[in-house]
Amino acid sequence: MAGNHNRERVIRQGGSDRARRFRTSHRGGKPLMRPLDKGKYHYLFGDDLLVAPIYRDSETSEVVLPAGKWRYWFNDAEVIEGPKTFTRNFPMDEYPVYVRDGAILPMNVRRDYTGIGAKDWEGMLALNIYPAADSRFTVHHTDNPGQLTVTVKKDQGVSVKLEGVAKPHVLRVLVDVKPASVTRDGAPLAEGTDWTHDAEKRRVVVKCPLAATGQYVIR
């Protein structure tokens, strides 16, 4: 049951991305869930989440990752280079979900227990970002005011550019070390007020309660 709970947790928190995918599929784009040729019952949820269901009464399961760089959802410190096939143990409170490096995952975080964010994120667009070179994602707002384009670049630091229809938002960005500074449109943001760093989770969290666009630079 815990495994099913965590599967639902991952998918539920990705509600904003799910809405975007439903719209894209409805307009003739790729389906939200796409089975993979390799890996028993494996499928992609969107473009950047790979799910490898546990279909037997066992804590061990085989995972087949396609080409690319992947991270395990519940422990994303390690990068796994695909293609790769392996068998590993999955505790009852985890589930085989892998994130493609470079992913930008819009989420609707409303609870503390997920380990992703906090209850006070409710009502804000949470962008869960795994920087890798250049990536872009278009968020279709579920209340239909338009869309927001998110562009992420990783070089000496991480740049996150927001263009389009703005929403109050939270950036949750995977980083290797604590940054020296975080800016928006060149203006420094205050540590502790505007942004925080979680060394254990290797995350910088930037909160903007205003409906604002602009370019963030983390370095």
Domain residue ranges of the chain, discontinuous segments joined by +: 2-100, 104-218
Distances from the Cα of 168 to the Cα of 46, 133, 207, angstroms: 24, 26, 8
pTM over 0.95: no
Residue carrying structure tokens 């639902």: 8
Q: What is the mean pLDDT of the chain?
A: 89
pLDDT at 3: 46
In three-state secondary structure terms, 121 is helix
- Distance between CA atoms of 199 and 186, rounded to whole angstroms? 25
pLDDT at 166: 94
In three-state secondary structure terms, 10 is helix
Q: Where do the H-state alpha helices sit in the chain?
A: 2-13, 15-26
* CATH architecture of structural domain 104-218: Sandwich (2.60)
Please name the amino acid found at residue 50.
Answer: L
pLDDT at 2: 42
- Distance between CA atoms of 140 and 30, rounded to whole angstroms? 16
pLDDT at 143: 86
Helix H or strand E encompassing 119: none
| 2-100 shares its CATH topology with 104-218 | yes
pLDDT at 10: 53
**What's the token pair of residue 116?**
């992703």
- Distance between CA atoms of 40 and 149, rounded to whole angstroms? 34
pLDDT below 70 — which residues of the chain? 1-29
pLDDT at 59: 87
pLDDT at 28: 52
Q: Are strands 203-208 and 195-198 parallel, antiparallel or unpaired?
A: antiparallel
Q: Are strands 33-35 and 43-45 parallel, antiparallel or unpaired?
A: antiparallel
What would the CATH number be for the domain defined by 2-100?
2.60.40.1180
